[in-house]
């Protein structure tokens, strides 16, 4: 079993300098403490709460940023795609294509993503049971692609709140694919601020640590140097300057968890 992978970056790509700044800081922190690192950034926020929420750089500019981050820092990069047409061009640049939670049952998108041969990270819909992901996985597998990651990002729990069910991690792992804990989206409060989503940033490290102790393959964490002024998802992002300490602690839990794998 490999050490923990940390998938981290800003919610949305803002510009190249900003992406490089965050990627560099995270690469360094992960290298220092022995974590694998994948840089995450979105070129389009396609399902903002409000029509006036900032959408992002767009696919062309976004991919240029991703390409430059890869070239400059030699790190794998991940972004989310929203329709079939985006799959091929994104896969030319990015190592991991991410299926957004709301879209995790859209057959054509899963198949188009799978066909690229890239790694596909599927976020479990807030409306799905962990065992339902077996059917989702089969859609990607139907393309012959078995480079799949499954991400827990919280489940609907009443209105405007999610709950992260820790049973979901071993249940999804039963598919045989690596499981990722999305520590920052699982503490989101969708629509909780009226025109935008709220979040409980303070609990993101709680979620990350619990999941790492259980033995997940990776954690997914959105981070920003100034979350409160970030263009999206500020309420649940972890400040960048807290990330090195967090990575250090998570790696200690990771070593202990992997030395004592849970048998289910």
Residues that bind a copy of itself (CB under 8 A): 46-51, 55, 82-83, 102-103, 105-108, 111, 125-132, 135, 138-139, 142, 155-161, 163-167, 169-170, 187, 190-191, 195, 200, 202-203, 205-207, 209-214, 249, 252-253, 256-257, 260, 262, 264
C-beta closer to a copy of itself: residue 11 or 212: 212
Asked if 88 and 58 count as a contact pair (C-beta separation under 8 A), the reply is: no
- Least gap, CB of 139 to a copy of itself (angstroms): 4
In the complex with a copy of itself, the residue whose CB is nearer, 117 or 195, is 195
Residue 117 CA neighbour count, 13 Å, CB half: 2
First-to-final CA distance of the chain: 17
C-beta of 77 vs 181, nearer to a copy of itself: 181
Give CA–CA dist 42/105, Å, rounded: 20
Question: 56 vs 234, which CB is nearer to a copy of itself?
Answer: 56
Q: Taking CA 183 as the corner, what is the angle to CA 128 and CA 52, rounded to the nearest 5 degrees?
A: 80
Q: CA neighbours within 13 Å on the CB side: how many for 63?
A: 15
230, HSE (Cβ side, Cα atoms, 13 Å): 27
What is residue 234's three-state secondary structure?
A: helix
Q: State the nearest-atom distance from the C-beta of 41 to a copy of itself, in Å.
A: 19
- CB of residue 233 to a copy of itself, shortest distance in Å: 14
**Dihedral (Cα; 259, 96, 42, 179), 10-degree rounding:** -30
In the complex, the smallest distance separating the C-beta of residue 72 from a copy of itself, rounded to whole angstroms, is 31
Q: Round to whole Å and give the CA distance between 39 and 51.
A: 27
**R_g of the chain, CA atoms, integer Å:** 17
Q: Which is nearer to a copy of itself, 109 or 230 (CB)?
A: 109
Nearest residue (CB) to a copy of itself, 25 versus 206: 206
Q: How far is the CB of 51 from a copy of itself (least distance, A)?
A: 4
In whole angstroms, the minimum distance from the beta carbon of 235 to a copy of itself comes to 14
């Amino acid at each position: 079993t490999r050490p923990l992978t940390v998938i981290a970056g800003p919610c949305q790509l803002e510009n190249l300098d900003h992406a490089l700044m965050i990627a560099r800081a995270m690469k360094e922190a992960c290298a220092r403490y022995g974590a694998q690192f994948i840089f995450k950034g979105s070129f389009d926020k396609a399902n903002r709460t409000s029509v006036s929420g900032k959408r992002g750089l767009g696919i062309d500019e976004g991919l240029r940023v991703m390409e430059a981050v890869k070239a400059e820092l030699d790190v794998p990069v991940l972004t989310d795609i929203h329709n079939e047409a985006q799959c091929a061009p994104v896969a030319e640049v990015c190592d991991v294509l991410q299926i957004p939670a709301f879209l995790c049952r859209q057959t054509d998108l899963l198949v188009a993503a799978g066909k690229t041969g890239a790694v596909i990270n599927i976020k479990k819909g807030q409306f799905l049971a962990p065992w339902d992901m077996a059917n989702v996985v089969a859609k990607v597998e139907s393309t012959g692609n078995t480079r799949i990651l499954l991400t827990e990002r919280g489940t609907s729990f009443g209105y405007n709140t999610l709950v992260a069910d820790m049973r979901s991690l071993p249940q999804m792992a039963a598919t045989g694919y690596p499981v990722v804990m999305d520590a920052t989206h699982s503490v989101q409060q969708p629509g909780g601020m009226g025109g935008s989503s709220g979040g409980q940033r303070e609990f993101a490290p709680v979620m990350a640590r619990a999941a790492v102790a259980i033995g997940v393959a990776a954690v997914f964490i959105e981070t920003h140097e100034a979350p409160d002024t970030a263009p999206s998802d500020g309420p649940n992002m972890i400040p960048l300057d807290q990330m090195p300490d967090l990575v250090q602690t998570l790696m200690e839990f990771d070593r202990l968890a992997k030395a004592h794998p849970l048998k289910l």
